[in-house]
Amino acid sequence: MSVVGIIPVRSFSAGKLRLAEHLDGQRRETLALRLATHVTTTVETAGLIPLIVTADPEVAEWAIRSGFGTAEDPGLGLNQAAKAGMEWASTNSSPWVVIHSDLPLLAADDLLELRTILIEGGRPLAPSLDGGTSALGGVRPLDTAYGTASFHRHLALMESPSVVVTTGLLHDIDSAPALASAARHPRGRWLSGFTP
């Protein structure tokens, strides 16, 4: 059974603005690109079908050049980008999982656990360390509630979710301390050139 890995990517050039005090624009852009590449290739390695959801022409061009599928982001925020990916997957009768594009420690094993839950008819939900949501999955489109502390909102919104807690899904990069922490992990050594 094919599972679609929905990866919303807003922009490389305007990405990671919370790191502006520590990284200049060029390094933030490079970091955003490398993170998206890491997540997308990991999704592919795990046997999922990568789908980049974006409204940014540069990101869409990168995705197409890299051989990844794309869906149009309506440009109304992460909730609507996720919904666009879910609708694309549902049109193709595929289960899906929305995965954030800033998970530097993500490994194929993390995604295989999500994939197994989906194939068995479950609904995976993965928190990030700061209480956000790194991944959630299902079969039909559902309303999401991304933003600060979104994990508990998704826990309440989803019917009988299977919570998945792994190193790769816990560590996203939303702050300089999160970047430094991820870079200290063996899987995050590739981040050393970006640490403040």
Q: How confident is the model at residue 196 (pLDDT cuts 50, 70, 90)?
A: low
CATH architecture for segment(s) 4-191 = Alpha-Beta Complex (3.90)
Average pLDDT over all residues of the chain: 93
Which pLDDT does position 65 carry in this prediction?
A: 96
For residues 126 and 33, is the Cβ–Cβ distance under 8 A? Answer: no
In the predicted structure, residue 192 carries a pLDDT above the cut 90? no
The tens digit of pLDDT for each residue in 151-175 reads: 999 999 999 999 999 999 999 998 8
Q: What is the pLDDT of residue 195?
A: 78
Contacts within 8 Å (CB) and 24+ apart, 54-57: 54/8, 54/9, 54/10, 54/11, 54/81, 55/10, 55/81, 56/9, 56/10, 56/11, 56/12
Q: Give the model confidence (pLDDT) of 87-139 as tens digits.
A: 999 988 899 999 999 999 999 999 999 999 999 999 999 999 999 999 999 99
Whether pLDDT at 194 is above 90: no
Beta strand pairing status for 69-72 and 96-99? unpaired
Give the pLDDT of residue 103: 97
Quick check: pTM over 0.75?
A: yes
Report the pLDDT value the prediction gives residue 17, as an integer from 0 to 100. 67
